[in-house]
């Protein structure tokens, strides 16, 4: 299983049905993508990372999101807990 970093373009065809049929392409916070589909990774210009690098990128994205949410007016951790981390497979 390979870990990749690439920002989603938002364009149709970024991940196609054929891409997923070849090898599942999964997205995680921080623009981390996990797949064994190296052809897809090449097509979209993804950069391969180690699992540790991908996990750090995902953790940072979740931390930034939690910081933004919890800094908003009226936020209370008692009634609206922030999301927890995700452990990559």
Least confident of 4-13, 26-35, 52-61: 4-13
Q: Does pLDDT of 35 surpass 70? A: yes
| Predicted TM-score (pTM) of this structure | 0.80
- Mean residue pLDDT of the chain comes to 88
DSSP for 1-21, please give it: -EEEE------TTSS-HHHHH
Domain ranges (residues) in the chain: 2-70
CB 88 within 8 A of CB 2: no
């Amino acid at each position: 299983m390979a870990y990749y970093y690439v920002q989603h373009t938002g364009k149709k065809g970024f991940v196609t049905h054929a891409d997923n049929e070849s090898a599942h392409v999964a997205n995680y916070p921080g623009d981390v993508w996990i797949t064994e589909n190296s052809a897809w990774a090449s097509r979209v210009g993804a950069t391969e990372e180690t699992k540790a690098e991908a996990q750090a990128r995902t953790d940072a994205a979740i931390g930034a999101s939690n910081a933004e949410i919890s800094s908003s007016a009226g936020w209370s951790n008692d009634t609206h807990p922030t999301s927890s981390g995700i452990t990559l497979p």
